[in-house]
Amino acid sequence: MTDLLYTEDESDLRAAVRSLLTARADPAALTGGRAESGSPGDPALWQALAVEVGAAGLLVPEKLGGQGASHREAAVVLEELGRGCVPAPYLTSSVAATAALLALGDDADAAVALLGDLAAGRRTAVLAVPLSTAPDGPLPAPDGRIGGVADAAGADVLLVLRADGLYAVDRSAAEVEPVTALDLTRPLAAVTVPEGTGTRLAGRPGGEAAVRRGLLTAAGLLASEQLGIAEWCLEETVRHTRERHQFNRPVGSFQALKHRMAQLWLEVVSARAAARAAADALATGSEEAALLTAVAQAYCSRVAVHAAEECVQLHGGIGMTWEHPAHLYLKRAKADEIAYGTPGRHKEHLAGLVGLDAP
């Protein structure tokens, strides 16, 4: 394992992404009705993030048109997107779908061409699997309706695993039906893809392995988004309780609240270690990538939810209204808790990896 501290390049990338999001993706703006619109994303912001910052191509080698960075840099981007609760297809397109295409190798011409488009921000793609699919879990039936596909309505390409292989299907050829999601900032849809459509990228064994690699990568880096959610919730709660007065003193000065926020700080620090370890294992191709991903998901999911719950409760009444974005973070944290496998599923997988009985 390499040093888990942030490198100078990673810090520079964080500064660039945070500067962009601070200027153009204020979480409070989502409470103005955009989150309820069904299309909460901002195409101009996505283009700026994908093209001007170059975030969309971080995982793609330079020879294929990307930035040639690693999962550690992509994790930094996700931390910032989590802090802003930003509606953007980064996790689904630039991480999950991109990792699946990379797993097919350089010989799959159609996959290489699509990777170039994704890295350049010309198109977005998603895996046509339910968001709740765990990396080691059952994959959806080869044909038929697939429910709960994240960011499908706004994607250009769907990666569909059929009985005879993995296909890239233009979204216009599929039936995409938006469904009501708890997390309004990451829209879900039910997808039905007609037989005989799309371009075949790989056979069934190679395609299934690629999809599972995409799911594993997404699960590992999702922990960084959850870390960002928890960090924002803690910082916002500390700020609010410093400014909010009761009995002529700041609410945050009461010992009971100090203990709660101190405990949450410890959890966030531990979550950072777990998320960074998973990102580093994926970046270095470590044999422990699956194990560290399971650890990160089992822990960071709960920390993000706890932090968001504390944020909503300690903000009092305003935390439950559309006047404040705290509830959006809680919904994102709850949705992330089941994305790419629940904490319980990851604990079972972890127990199997280390030869213990599942809890």
Domain containing 241 — which CATH number? Answer: 1.20.140.10
Give the tokens for residue 94: 């630039």
- Residue 114 CA to residue 116 CA, distance in Å, equals 5
User: Do the domain assignments include residue 188?
Assistant: no
pLDDT of residue 358: 63
User: Backbone dihedral region of 87: left (phi > 0), alpha (psi from -120 to 50 degrees) or beta?
Assistant: beta
Q: Are strands 245-246 and 145-150 parallel, antiparallel or unpaired?
A: unpaired
For residue range 77-92, list pLDDT tens digits in order. Answer: 999 999 999 999 999 9
User: Do the domain assignments include residue 39?
Assistant: no
Q: How many CB atoms lie within 10 A of CB 71?
A: 25
- Residue 264 CA to residue 205 CA, distance in Å, equals 43
User: CB within 8 A of 155, min separation 6: which ones?
Assistant: 89, 92, 93, 124, 125, 126, 171
Q: Which domain holds residue 261?
A: 208-354
The percentage of residues in the chain with a pLDDT greater than 90, rounded to a whole number, is 87
For residue range 182-218, list pLDDT tens digits in order. Answer: 999 999 999 999 988 999 999 999 999 999 999 999 9
Mean pLDDT of 135-158: 91
User: Do the domain assignments include residue 349?
Assistant: yes
Among 106-110, 252-256, 289-293, 337-341, where is mean pLDDT lowest? 106-110
204-243 and 71-84 are packed helices; what angle lies between their axes, rounded to 10 degrees?
A: 40
User: Do the domain assignments include residue 301?
Assistant: yes
For tokens 């009501």, the residue is: 180
pLDDT at residue 2 tops 80: no
User: Do the domain assignments include residue 220?
Assistant: yes
User: Do the domain assignments include residue 145?
Assistant: no
Burial class (CB in 10 A: 0-12, 13-18, 19+), 304: buried
Mean pLDDT of the chain: 94
Mean pLDDT of 153-176: 96
Strands (E) across the chain are located at: 125-127, 145-150, 157-162, 165-170, 175-179, 188-192, 199-202, 245-246, 249-250
User: Do the domain assignments include residue 269?
Assistant: yes
End-to-end CA distance of the chain: 27
pLDDT of residue 32: 67
Best CA proximity match to 261, nearest among 295, 298, 230? 230
- For the chain, the domain total comes to 1
pLDDT at residue 1 tops 70: no
User: Do the domain assignments include residue 63?
Assistant: no
Best CA proximity match to 215, nearest among 351, 79, 349? 349
pLDDT at residue 245 tops 90: yes
